[in-house]
Chain A
Amino acid sequence: MTGMRGLSVFISDVRNCQNKEAERLRVDKELGNIRTCFKNEKVLTPYKKKKYVWKMLYIHMLGYDVDFGHMEAVSLISAPKYPEKQVGYIVTSCLLNENHDFLKLAINTVRNDIIGRNETFQCLALTLVGNIGGRDFAESLAPDVQKLLISSSCRPLVRKKAALCLLRLFRKNPDAVNVDGWADRMAQLLDERDLGVLTSSTSLLVALVSNNHEAYSSCLPKCVKILERLARNQDVPQEYTYYGIPSPWLQVKAMRALQYFPTIEDPSTRKALFEVLQRILMGTDVVKNVNKNNASHAVLFEALSLVMHLDAEKEMMSQCVALLGKFISVREPNIRYLGLENMTRMLMVTDVQDIIKKHQSQIITSLKDPDISIRRRALDLLYGMCDVSNAKDIVEELLQYLSTAEFSMREELSLKAAILAEKFAPDLSWYVDVILQLIDKAGDFVSDDIWFRVVQFVTNNEDLQPYAASKAREYLDKIAIHETMVKVSAYILGEYGHLLARQPGCSASELFSILHEKLPTISTPTIPILLSTYAKLLMHAQPPDPELQKKVWAVFKKYESCIDVEIQQRAVEYFELSKKGPAFMDVLAEMPKFPERQSSLIKKAENVEDTADQSAIKLRAQQQPSNAMVLADQQPVNGAPPPLKVPILSGSTDPESVARSLSHPNGTLSNIDPQTPSPDLLSDLLGPLAIEAPPGAVSNEQHGPVGAEGVPDEVDGSAIVPVEEQTNTVELIGNIAERFHALCLKDSGVLYEDPHIQIGIKAEWRGHHGRLVLFMGNKNTSPLTSVQALILPPAHLRLDLSPVPDTIPPRAQVQSPLEVMNIRPSRDVAVLDFSYKFGANVVSAKLRIPATLNKFLQPLQLTSEEFFPQWRAISGPPLKLQEVVRGVRPLALPEMANLFNSFHVTICPGLDPNPNNLVASTTFYSESTGAILCLARIETDPADRTQLRMTVGTGDPTLTFELKEFIKEQLITVPMGSRALVPAAGPAPPVAQPPSPAALADDPGAMLAGLL
C-alpha cells in the first residue's frame, strides 16, 4: 500500500473541489479513466489494477454509483501475491453483497484459499465469507471452516475468524452446521484459553443455542465457568480487560447465551451462577470514568436480564427492581433509558407492578424529557404499568403530552391512550370524555376503530347515552372541529339527540342547524352519516316540526342527484321514507345493541407491540415451542359436502376428485376462533340501515349486520351467489371459470368472450390499491346496445367503476377503468354484472373480477435471521393457525414452490432444516391493516403427497384465517382443467352456498368433467 501516490492525489483532488459540481466532474473523469484502463487489459499491471480498485471503493464511499469494475475487483482475489489479493478481497466485500452473481465465480478461489496452507490467505478468505457469504458459500464451505475452527495447528488468529465465519454460514443455512457431531466440539471450544477465540466462539454459541438449546445443553455449565473465570478476574490477560473490567463483551455474550436455556437444572451450576450474578448486582458502582461506567453497566444490565429470565428468588428480584428504580431517576441519559427499558421488560415476567407504581411520577417526568428516545421508553413503560388504580392519572398525562408530541409518536400515543381508557375506565363517562378529547386534540391520528368503539359503548349502555349526547353537543360549539368529531357527534346526536330535547339549544331543529353548518367543511364519506342523522332528527322531532322537515327535505333533494352513489341513494330513500309516517319510525328505530366482543383496538395494539416491542425476554418467552404452534385440526374442515353436489359426483370414479370436493373449504368458517372479533366494524355500525336498501344493492356499508360473530364473510357472499347462473342465449368462447383462474395469477388477459363481445382486463397493483381497466370490444359489424356494467363489491373491497357507455359501436373497443381498494383481508370476490343487447337478445353474465386476496400480496423473501424471530413472535391462535390438509393435489416440491410463488407467497429456500418442508413469506396490504408480514410453513410428507400440514401466521387474526384458507384452496384444487367439479373453487369462492346443478349444466366444462 505504500507508494500509492495516485490514490492520495485523487483523494486530495476531490477534497479540494470547491463544490459538489466540481467534485462530480472530477469523479466522472476518474471513472472514465478507470473504465478505459480496464478495457485495455494489456497495460493493466496488477499494481494499477489495485490502485484503480481502491479508487473505485473511495468513489463508491462518496456516494456515487460505480456500476462497472466489479469483475476486476473479484478477479484480484485470485491474484497470486498478497497485496493484490488483499485489495480484491476487501473491495469485493464492500462493493458486492451476497446476492451478486460475480461472487459465485469466486467460490472456488475462496475455497482454495481456505483449505490452502497460506495463513494470510486463509484469513482473507474467512473474512470475506464471514462478511458477505451467502447460501452458496454455506453449502460448499461449512465443513472446511469447521475444520479450521477446531484445528490444533492453526493460530488463534485463524480460528477466531473461522468461528465467526461459521456463524455467518449458520445464519444463512442452519443445516450447514450438523448438530450431532458439533455439540461436543462446541463445548470443547468453550474451554479455550485464548480470549479472542473464546469471544468469537461464544457469539457462535449464542446463535446455535437460540436455534436449538437442547442440543447444546452441555455448553451451559461452560458458560457459567467462563463467567466465573472473568468475574474472579482469574487468568485474564491485561490486554483483555477494558478499563479494569475483564472483557465486558465476553461477559455479556456468555450471559446472553444462558438466556436461551429455559432453566438451569443442576443445583451446583445454578448456585455458582447466582454467586456471580449477585456479585455483579451488588458490586457495580457508579464511577467518574464514562467508559468504565458504561462497560460495568453493560454487564450489569445483562445480568439483570438473566436474573429476570431465570425468575430468581424473590430477594434477588427485589434487588433488581430497586436497582432499576434507582436508574430511572438518575440524570445520566443512557442509564435512565436502560432503566426504563428494563423495567418494561420486567413487567412482562414478574409480578412487580406494585413496586414499579411507586416510581410513577418519576416515569412521567421522563415522558417530558427532551430526548425522544427516553420519551418512547417512558411511554412504553407507562402503558405497560397502567391498571385500574392509576389509569386516570396516566391517561391524563398521555392526553396532555399528545398536544406537544411529535407527529411520529401521535398515532401510537392516541391508540395507547384509547386502549388504556377502554381497558381501565373507572366509569364509562370518563371513557367517553377521553375519546372525545383524543379526537379533539389529535383527530388526524385517531383511526376509525377508535370512534367506532366509542359508538359501540354508547349504544350498549343506556345510562351513557344522554351524557354522550350532551358532550357531543358541547364539542359542536367549537369553531373548528375535526371531521372525525363531526362523524361521531353526528352519529350520537342522531341516535340520542332527542334525549336532550328539553335542554336549551338541543331541539331537533337546533341540532340540525349546528350539524348542517359543518357540512361544507367535510369530505364525501362523512355526508352519508349526516344524512342519516338528519333523517333521525326529523323523525325524533316532537311535536313534528314542519320547518325542520322543509329544511331536511331540501337537503335530501339537493343530494338526490349527487354523483356519489351512496349519498344519492340515502338522499332518495330517506326522502321517500320520511313521507311514510309510522313506517318511517320503524325503519329508523334506534340501533340495536352490539354483540359483546373483544376490542379491535386491543388487538391492533397487540399487533403493534409484536413488531415494535420485541424485548429479548419476550422473544425468549415466545420461543417455547409449546405455545408457538397450534395443534392441528385433524378433521376435514367442512364435514360432509352439501347434498346438492352428490349427484354430480356420483358418476365420478376418481377418488381424488371426491376427496377434493370433500375437503373443499367452501363456506366453512366453523373452525375460526370464536373469540375472533368481526373485523366488519363499519358494517356493524351502519348495518341495520340496510333495511332501506333495495335487495342486491351495492353499498358496501349496507349489508345486513354481520350476525353471529366469527362468520364475517357469509353475508356478503350470499349477495353474489348466482355467479355462473346465467340465462345466456349465446355460446361462450372459452371457460369463464378457467379464464378467471388464469387471471388470478396474472395481470392481463381475457375475462370473457362470446361471439359478440370480448372483455379483456389489465391490472396494476400497488399495496392495497389496484387499478384495472376493462376493455370491451365489439366483434360485430353492428352496435351492441343497452350495455350495462355494474359492480357488486364484497364488503372488503371498495370499487369504483367508471361509467360504461350505453352503446359500443361496431368493431370498436371501449375502456373502463376500475379502481379497487382493499379494506381488509377477505377471500370474497367482486362480481361484475354485465349485460348487453344484441338485436333482440339480451345477453348477461356475472363475472368474477380477479381482485383476489393474492393481488394484495407483495412477494418478500426473508433470510433465516429475519424469518425465525418473526415466526416465533407470532404466538398461537388466532394469529397463527395450523391445519392438516388432506386431499391435496399431489405436487413435487419444486412445483409446489412455483405454485406459491405464482400467487406472491414467496418461498424462502433452505430456511427449513427439513428438505420436505417449505417456508414462505409475503406482505399483505389493506387499508385497515396496513402492510402486514405473513409467514407460512408447509410440512409435506414424502410418503403421501396428498396430505400436508400447513401453518400460517400473520399479525392479524382475520388475515391469518383468510390466507390459510386461500392457500388451502390453491393446494386442493387444480388451477386449470377439471375445476368444474368444484364450481366455486379457486382463489376466491364467492359463494356461501353451492351452486345448483342447473347452473353447472350450462357450463360445458362442467358437463364434460361430470362425465369423466
Chain B
Amino acid sequence: MIRFILLQNRQGKTRLAKYYVPLEESEKHKVEYEVHRLVVNRDAKFTNFVEFRTHKVIYRRYAGLFFSVCVDITDNELAYLESIHLFVEILDHFFSNVCELDLVFNFHKVYLILDEFILAGELQETSKRAIIERMSELEKLQ
C-alpha cells in the first residue's frame, strides 16, 4: 500500500503531500526533507527505486518535479512507477499541458484529482476518462 505521495520540485519545495498513514507533523517534515535528498541527486540512468527506512520510494522526475510514492517492500515496483505516470497524464489532460505553476496555483484541484485516483493508499480508478469526467462534474457543483 502507498504510505505517502510527495510532489516536490528540485529545490525541495513541496507541491503536494498526501499521507495515508498517521504521522506527526514533525515527522512529515523530516520525511519530506529526507525523500527529497534521497532522490534529487540520483542520476537519470539509475533505477527509479530507492530504499527508504523500512520501505521503498518509487519516484519519477518530470522536468523539475519529482513525484515520489512510498510503498511497502513487497509491493510491485513497476506497477507503482506507471501509476505515477498515469497520474501525470491525468494532470496533463486536466490542465492541458501541465506545468509546475498550474500545480502551485491550483494545488486544491490537484488534491481533488488525487482523491479520485488514490484512496486509502490504493489505486481507486485507472481510467483517465472516468477521472476527467468526474472532475468536470465537481466543477459544476461549485
Interface residues of A, Cβ cutoff 8 Å to B: 1-2, 7-8, 11, 15, 54, 57-58, 61-63, 65, 82-83, 86-87, 90, 94, 97-99, 120, 126-127, 130-132, 134, 157, 160-161, 164-165, 167-168, 171, 195-196, 199-200, 203, 237, 239-240, 242, 247-250, 252, 256, 291, 294-295, 297-298, 301-302, 333-334, 336-338, 370-374, 376, 611-612, 614-616, 619, 865
Q: Check A298/B124 contact, CB under 8 A, given A11-B104, A82-B141, A256-B76.
A: no
Complex alpha-carbon distance, A337 and B77, angstroms: 10
Interface residues of B, Cβ cutoff 8 Å to A: 1, 13-20, 22-25, 29, 32, 42-43, 45-51, 54, 73-74, 76-79, 81-83, 85-86, 104-105, 107-109, 111-112, 115, 119-120, 122-130, 134, 138-139, 141-142
Q: Which residues of chain A are within 8 angstroms of B125 by Cβ–Cβ distance?
A: 160, 196, 199
Complex alpha-carbon distance, A256 and B109, angstroms: 32
Pairs across A and B, CB under 8 Å, 26 listed: A1-B108, A7-B108, A15-B104, A90-B108, A97-B22, A98-B22, A130-B120, A131-B119, A164-B119, A164-B122, A200-B123, A237-B127, A249-B82, A249-B126, A250-B126, A291-B82, A295-B78, A298-B78, A298-B82, A301-B76, A334-B78, A336-B47, A337-B49, A338-B78, A371-B47, A373-B49
Establish whether residues B73 and A61, one from each chain, have CB atoms under 8 Å apart when the complex forms: no
> In whole Å, how far is A230's beta carbon from the nearest beta carbon of chain B?
12
Q: A134-B22, A164-B119, A171-B120 are in contact. List 20 more A-B contacts (CB 8 A).
A: A1-B142, A61-B15, A61-B17, A62-B13, A82-B142, A94-B18, A97-B22, A130-B120, A132-B22, A199-B125, A200-B122, A247-B126, A249-B79, A249-B126, A256-B76, A291-B82, A291-B85, A298-B78, A333-B47, A338-B78
Establish whether residues B130 and A196, one from each chain, have CB atoms under 8 Å apart when the complex forms: yes
Q: Which residues of chain B are within 8 angstroms of A200 by Cβ–Cβ distance?
A: 119, 122-124
Q: Compute the total of residue contacts between A and B using a CB distance below 8 Å.
A: 176
Complex alpha-carbon distance, A139 and B98, angstroms: 42
Instruction: Name B115's contact: one of A65, A90, A336, A619 (CB within 8 Å).
Output: A90
**Main DSSP-derived SS at the B contact region:** mixed
> In whole Å, how far is A674's beta carbon from the nearest beta carbon of chain B?
33
Complex alpha-carbon distance, A988 and B129, angstroms: 65
With both beta carbons as reference points, the residue of chain B lying nearest to A200 in the complex is identified as B124
Instruction: Name A373's contact: one of B50, B79, B81 (CB within 8 Å).
Output: B50
Instruction: Name A57's contact: one of B43, B108, B139 (CB within 8 Å).
Output: B108
Q: Which residues of chain B are within 8 angstroms of A130 by Cβ–Cβ distance?
A: 119-120
Complex alpha-carbon distance, A239 and B126, angstroms: 8
Complex alpha-carbon distance, A295 and B78, angstroms: 7
Complex alpha-carbon distance, A164 and B123, angstroms: 9
Instruction: Name B112's contact: one of A90, A239, A373 (CB within 8 Å).
Output: A90
Establish whether residues A337 and B47, one from each chain, have CB atoms under 8 Å apart when the complex forms: yes
Instruction: Name B105's contact: one of A8, A87, A250 (CB within 8 Å).
Output: A8
Establish whether residues B119 and A161, one from each chain, have CB atoms under 8 Å apart when the complex forms: yes
Instruction: Name B123's contact: one of A86, A203, A337 (CB within 8 Å).
Output: A203
Q: Check A298/B120 contact, CB under 8 A, given A61-B14, A334-B81, A611-B54.
A: no
With both beta carbons as reference points, the residue of chain B lying nearest to A370 in the complex is identified as B43
Complex alpha-carbon distance, A250 and B43, angstroms: 31
> In whole Å, how far is B136's beta carbon from the nearest beta carbon of chain A?
13
Instruction: Name A240's contact: one of B16, B54, B126, B142 (CB within 8 Å).
Output: B126
> In whole Å, how far is B16's beta carbon from the nearest beta carbon of chain A?
7
Establish whether residues B142 and A2, one from each chain, have CB atoms under 8 Å apart when the complex forms: yes
Q: Which residues of chain B are within 8 angstroms of A247 by Cβ–Cβ distance?
A: 126
Q: Which residues of chain A are within 8 angstroms of B51 by Cβ–Cβ distance?
A: 373, 376
Establish whether residues A239 and B122, one from each chain, have CB atoms under 8 Å apart when the complex forms: no
Q: Check A120/B115 contact, CB under 8 A, given A97-B22, A196-B124, A196-B130.
A: no
Q: Which residues of chain A are within 8 angstroms of B18 by Cβ–Cβ distance?
A: 94, 131
Complex alpha-carbon distance, A863 and B18, angstroms: 19
Instruction: Name B141's contact: one of A65, A83, A302 (CB within 8 Å).
Output: A83
Q: Which residues of chain A are within 8 angstroms of B129 by Cβ–Cβ distance?
A: 239
Q: Closest 4 CB pairs between A and B? A: A298-B78, A97-B22, A616-B74, A168-B120
Complex alpha-carbon distance, A237 and B126, angstroms: 12
Establish whether residues A196 and B127, one from each chain, have CB atoms under 8 Å apart when the complex forms: yes
